[in-house]
Amino acid sequence: MLDLFDALRSRDTDRAMSLLDNRIVWHNVGLPKVRGRANVGKFMAMLARPAFGFDVIVHNIAADGNVVLTERTDVLIWRRLRIEFWVCGTFEMRDGRIAVWRDYFDTVDFLKGVVRGIFRVAVGR
């Protein structure tokens, strides 16, 4: 998972895609599932555009067999706006690649991150 996060942070879409199983299912719980490496890649390509970005702070990570759990703060970036919010992720591996990527987050915490980010932009922080 750390390799995936590093690839996303550095905008290395090819490297990030190489870590995904062809039949990956990416699910931000509460939102529709995204199926297939090509569809997940569209989101990754968006983050690699000049105005966008991604960062992550991993607080805890644990593995048991083919399952990896993460507790982290994700940062979505659009120009000067940084939206920081808490995420708990479950990753299931198949043949060394990520086959299932399931993220849980609190919508209210995400919205708080949006408000905090807008405030920081407005006051120049």
Residues serving a catalytic function are: 74, 103
Rg of the Cα atoms in the chain: 15
Distance CA 75, CA 37 (A): 22
**In sequence order, which ranges of 31-106 are alpha helices (DSSP H)?**
37-47
Contact (Cβ atoms closer than 8 angstroms) between residue 75 and residue 83: yes
